[in-house]
Structure 1
Amino acid sequence: MPLQDLPCLSLQGSMLSQARKINKRKPRGCLSEGLDMECTPTELIQQWSPLHKHQRLTSKGKENTGNQFVLARRSRRKRESTSSISWDHLPDELLLRILFYIPLQDLLRMSTVCMRWHRLAFDESLWHSVDLEGLTHVGPALQQVLKTGVRMLRCPRSFVEELLFTGTGPLQIVVMDLSSSIIPTSSLESIICQCRQLEYLSLEGLQLSDNVISSLSKNPNLLQLNLSGCSGLSAPALADMLQSCTSIEQLNIAWCDFSNDHVKSVVANVSASVTHLNISGYRENLTLDDVKVLVTRCPNIQTLDLSDSSLLMADSFPVLKQLKALLHLSLSRCYHIHLAALTGLDKTFPTLSLLDVFGIVTGSHLSSLKKEMPRVSINSRPFSSVARPTPASRPIGCFMWNRKCRLRFKL
């Protein structure tokens, strides 16, 4: 029969079966001889011919015994080279410079990335100044901060639970503000007893002890000390501390739980280099004799606050006249000083520029007094700024003794 008259299915089936028989007898290398015969259909050739893209180097079955066995493996793609530099390739100095501009919360998160970043995140250079104002349960955080070698620590109005800090060496704190915080005396002792480089310190409103005061005497470079409103310290311990800290320039010791012995210890042992002194709030414990001792011992006083001293009268002005550099005098609520004694006070103190007489002069008498002494600013400073870390003239939380903390915890 002619080839075109054969059924397509039977033809394909017979040709496939014939091809399998030939394949069993001959190797595939001889397959081209059968496919080149003129009786081979074109469609069968297209179906039988393997695609060139997927040709394999090996064959299966018995035919592989006479040929060399080869395993082919697709080569991996090479990673495209990039021009960027990995963080792992940056030196520590450059990473520390980058971390210097990161806020406190983000710096703590980055410390959990890996061991290297944890080491860099707690590097001493990044923790130079820290602000933990207003935090509750700040004990663990404060203990970790103290271990970083912090030099400026601001932690006012905070709640510190029991904290027993035991470091390997003395702390490097130079400036510290713990004003109005709730902190156990034992925790405060564990911190202060390891400080040797303090220059600016505020413990306003805290419960102290003789151990705290004795530890302060080991800081000879102390320049400004704020102990206003403190309690729990004895007169002998206070005298020893003032004798050791001879570099104090500003001392605020107002409204403490003091007796007459405490006041006499202050005026008799305060450093002669003091230029700003607040010793207000002692009512009947501060006498004219104490003022005489103070003026003789500290002739360079520029700011003196004797407010709420009910025993002082106008006879104290000739004594205070010996202070040739006096710029600011506070006599608020010294009710035994009459208005007539204040008239002409600018002539008694030629260098005087600020005068506080709250509670003594009010209303129209204040206006007339201002007219009589136009050179002197009267009742312009309702709050004392002596040794205070944040004066009322600056926003709270921005500066501490004109220094700004870099790492600040924001509530």
Structure 2
Amino acid sequence: MMPISVNVTSQQIYSKCGTINMENGPYLDGESSENELDDYPGYFKVFRRDRSSINMRENEEPVMNFVENREVRLRRRSSAIPPFDPFQKYPIPDLVIENIFEFLCKRDISNAMRCCRRFYNIGEASKFWTNFDLGDKRITEFTLAALLRRNTQYLRLADAKCDQVNTCELKPYHSKLFGKIPCSLKLLDLSRAILNKKQLAMLLKPCQNLVGLSLENQTIDDEIASHIAKNPHLRRLDLSMTKGLTEFGLQLIVEKCRSLEELSLAWCGLSQSTCAAISKRLTSTLRKLNISGTLEKKGVTDCVVLSIGQSCPYLNDLDISDNIEVTKTSIVIVIRHLPKLRTLSCNRCYGIDPNTFLNLTTTGIRHLNVHGCISESNLETFYAYFPNMDVNKTVLNYTAKPYQSETATHRIWGHSLR
């Protein structure tokens, strides 16, 4: 209870208000007016009310049982018992605390790290942050820097939004957070993440060991392309629907990343000269290629398909959909130069004669997608020519995508984030 100073004596109360009737409760029985009684803090105003709910609501008034307009002195309660730290009295090894932290989720570990410096140092151990899923979350640049410092290896930031930190707030931590950061990222999913150029460069600049990278719907200039090219062990690269990609930047990526197995350049708006340049520089280790959607600039032609067949003879999945410059010559090139091809997608390639697809019956292709190339009336007849082939069974292309279905978002390139 807080001490209250009231300069009223018991004699003054008896002289003004009379006696106190203890049988009916601690209420005053004198003939004093209510104005006089309101001067004393111990007075409880009592009303005779009708018990009906309507009259009770009409007569309801707040009962004041506290002192108003008084200055109250607050005292901090001082404990006679000195503060006790069990971690100092009983020397608990860091290994024991670390084993306890293994049973906590990442949110609880973050809360525990705020307790003391020792918990922070133990909780910052890299093994707690090897997998991290921040998909569809709102984060800051501090979060990105902290994840890089904690040696995160598998990071998902799909559909995340990163808020920019004020330069004045970031300056005191710049040397600690953004110095020479030993980055251990191997799989990085930035699909549809809302990042500006500085934030994207912050993530990619220290990366040199990436194996899988998705930059779907990001803006990529030559600087970002140079950061991507520093990863010689990159095997899966998704650049679908990116903007700002130039011929120089794309050539730099293709020439430096010679371990690529899956590459997606779908709907990047590539020009014909860019497609011709990179098709001659593709690595022979490539197994899956998606170069669909160059409608506006008419990038993919029969010559580009020929260069792809000569550079990547071991392709087993090729998607050249939505390229109106492709003709039946490309089908002949596929038959001659890509003997290991198992999946071919030519959706909405209106320049290809439908009868040309009948030549694919002698090849090893097992999955053929020709949506929009065959009229509805001839589909049944067309299916009859390919009894051992799945025709138009696949709607979406998952080349170099972090996940192989819309529901398996907790895994990126086969690695679980749980």
Q: Report the TM-score, using the length of structure 1 for normalisation.
A: 0.73
Question: What secondary structure sits across from 2:188 in the alignment?
Answer: strand
Larger CA deviation: 358-367 vs 300-309: 358-367
Q: How does 1:224-235 map onto structure 2 within 5 Å?
A: 224-235=236-247
Amino acid corresponding to residue 156 of structure 2 in structure 1: R
Question: What secondary structure sits across from 1:191 in the alignment?
Answer: helix
Q: Does 1:91 align with 2:93?
A: yes
Ranges in structure 2 where 5+ consecutive residues have no aligned partner: 1-86, 166-173
Of residues 341, 361, 369, the one that matches 2:374 is 361
Cα pair distance change 1:103/1:373, threshold 3 Å: same
- Give the deviation of 1:90 after TM superposition: 4.5
- Give the deviation of 1:364 after TM superposition: 4.1
- Give the deviation of 1:190 after TM superposition: 2.1
Match of 2:136 in 1: 134
Of residues 174, 177, 190, the one that matches 2:186 is 174
- Give the deviation of 1:405 after TM superposition: 1.3
Contact 2:149-2:182 within 8 A present in 1 as well: no
Q: How does 1:197-216 map onto structure 2 within 5 Å?
A: 197-216=209-228
Task: Count the aligned residue pairs.
Answer: 319
Which whole-Å CA distance do the structure 2 matches of 1:334 and 1:311 have between them? 8
Q: Does 1:266 align with 2:278?
A: yes
Match of 1:399 in 2: 411
Q: Does 1:318 align with 2:326?
A: no
Cα pair distance change 1:375/1:89, threshold 3 Å: farther
- Give the deviation of 1:123 after TM superposition: 0.9
Which whole-Å CA distance do the structure 2 matches of 1:325 and 1:87 have between them? 69
Q: Does 1:294 align with 2:308?
A: yes
Q: How does 1:115-130 map onto structure 2 within 5 Å?
A: 115-130=117-132
Match of 1:236 in 2: 248
Which is richer in helix? 1
Larger CA deviation: 319-328 vs 110-119: 110-119
- Give the deviation of 1:245 after TM superposition: 0.7
- Superposed CA offset, 1:317-355 (max 9, x none): 2211121110000000001223222234221x2x11111
- Superposed CA offset, 1:90-135 (max 9, x none): 4333432332232121111111222222211111111111100011
Question: What secondary structure sits across from 2:237 in the alignment?
Answer: strand
- Give the deviation of 1:389 after TM superposition: 0.3
Amino acid corresponding to residue 361 of structure 2 in structure 1: D
- Superposed CA offset, 1:244-285 (max 9, x none): 110101000111032222212220211111010001111322
Q: Does 1:247 align with 2:259?
A: yes
Cα pair distance change 1:112/1:344, threshold 3 Å: same
Contact 1:138-1:158 within 8 A present in 2 as well: no
Match of 1:339 in 2: 354
- Superposed CA offset, 1:274-317 (max 9, x none): 01000111132211111111101110000000001111121222
Identity %: 25
Structure with higher Rg: it is: 1
Larger CA deviation: 295-304 vs 316-325: 316-325
Of residues 314, 320, 325, the one that matches 1:306 is 320
Q: CA RMSD in A?
A: 2.1
Amino acid corresponding to residue 251 of structure 1 in structure 2: L
Amino acid corresponding to residue 370 of structure 2 in structure 1: V
Which whole-Å CA distance do the structure 2 matches of 1:374 and 1:96 have between them? 59
Question: What secondary structure sits across from 1:285 in the alignment?
Answer: coil
Contact 1:328-1:355 within 8 A present in 2 as well: yes
Q: How does 1:55-74 map onto structure 2 within 5 Å?
A: none
- Superposed CA offset, 1:355-409 (max 9, x none): 11111125342233222212111111111111000122x5142210011113xxx
Amino acid corresponding to residue 368 of structure 1 in structure 2: T
Q: How does 1:24-63 map onto structure 2 within 5 Å?
A: none
Cα pair distance change 1:364/1:126, threshold 3 Å: same
Match of 2:344 in 1: 329
Amino acid corresponding to residue 376 of structure 2 in structure 1: G
Which whole-Å CA distance do the structure 2 matches of 1:280 and 1:272 have between them? 20
Ranges in structure 1 where 5+ consecutive residues have no aligned partner: 1-84, 407-411
